[in-house]
């Protein structure tokens, strides 16, 4: 049976809304009540089902006749005094109180409350259990007896197979250990292979850097630097450009030298040409 039937069938709700079934509320959650009574306010009912108070008011408006049959009632201030609970403010219209049976029915009317769905699930389980006929119960008992007999036979068979199972378990553990060992070896091989590739790549890069440095050293060792006379010629030309500091800064940046004396002899003509071109800028 689907819980939708409970939502749509008033007769089924009335059938399930019994004094015995109201105890199912305790399985669904903790219900706060007024004082030591079994009555709850609309706020307490809304809190129990985890929904807005306005939703409970809508339920009361649509199904007041059902709830009234379950004991739902609006108490006046005078009638409410017997509960001796001073924590509630009562309007001139009084205060509406729900007995547990009415609260159970609210759970059968709310669609979207998780707690209400849980209550309906409990009610369906009770209904399905009660719907079993004596003949059905006899069939079920016979099935249970057969299952018990089958279970005993399986236990006997398990005893006979326990020794073989022990051997199989030991063999499986050995295979697992061997598998783990093989995995470690394979991982080590791949790790060493990757490490070897990295070392080889680093070695090749180092060789390239050494070769480059050797070439640079060879160039520097074979180069002759400009003479003092040539330096004087360069300085004279730099001074003619207006601001010697600015011209020299650009010259040393262009040729990658820090001082005149570091200019290679083979670059002397290039420097002269650069200075001549600079004159036209």
pLDDT in tens, 128-151: 766 555 665 565 566 656 666 766
Domain chopping of the chain, boundaries: 3-131, 133-204, 228-279
For the chain, give the mean pLDDT.
Answer: 82
Residue 280's pLDDT band (boundaries 50, 70, 90)? very low
Q: Report residue 179's pLDDT band, with 50, 70 and 90 as the boundaries.
A: confident
Residues 257, 164: Cα–Cα separation, whole Å:
87
CA distance 41 to 94: 11
At 217 the pLDDT is: 56
Predicted pLDDT of residue 193: 74
d(CA 49, CA 45): 6
- Residues 161-176, mean pLDDT to the nearest whole number: 76
Residues with Cβ within 8 Å of residue 51, at least 6 apart in sequence: 110, 112, 113
pLDDT tens-digit map of 12-30 = 999 999 999 999 999 998 9
pTM above 0.75, yes or no: no
Spatial separation of the C-alpha atoms in residues 212 and 121, rounded to whole Å:
83
- Residue 85 predicted with pLDDT over 60: no
């Amino acid at each position: 049976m689907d819980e939708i039937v409970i939502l749509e069938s008033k007769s089924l709700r009335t059938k399930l809304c019994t004094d015995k079934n109201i105890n199912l509320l305790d399985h669904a959650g903790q219900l706060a009540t007024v004082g030591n009574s079994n009555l709850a306010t609309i706020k307490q009912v809304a809190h129990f089902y985890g929904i807005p108070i306005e939703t409970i008011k809508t339920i009361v408006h649509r199904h007041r006749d059902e709830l009234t049959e379950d004991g739902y009632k609006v108490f006046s201030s005078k009638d409410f005094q017997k509960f001796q609970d001073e924590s509630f403010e009562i309007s001139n219209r009084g205060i509406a109180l729900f007995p547990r049976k009415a609260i159970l029915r609210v759970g059968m009317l709310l669609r979207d409350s998780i707690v209400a769905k849980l209550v309906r699930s409990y009610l369906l389980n009770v209904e399905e259990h009660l719907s079993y006929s004596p003949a059905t119960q006899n069939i079920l008992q016979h099935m249970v007896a057969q299952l018990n007999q089958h279970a005993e036979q399986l236990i006997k068979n398990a005893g006979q197979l326990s020794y073989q199972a022990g051997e199989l378990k030991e063999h499986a553990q050995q295979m697992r250990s061997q598998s783990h060992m093989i995995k470690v070896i394979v991982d080590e091989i791949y790790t060493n292979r990757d490490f070897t590739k990295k070392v080889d790549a680093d070695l090749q890069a180092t060789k390239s850097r050494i070769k480059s440095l050797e070439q640079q050293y060879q160039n520097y060792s074979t180069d002759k630097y400009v003479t003092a006379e040539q330096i004087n010629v360069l300085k004279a030309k730099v001074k003619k450009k207006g601001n010697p500091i600015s011209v020299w800064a650009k010259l040393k940046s262009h040729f990658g030298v820090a001082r005149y004396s570091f200019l290679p002899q083979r670059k002397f003509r290039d420097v002269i040409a650069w200075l001549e071109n600079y004159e036209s800028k």
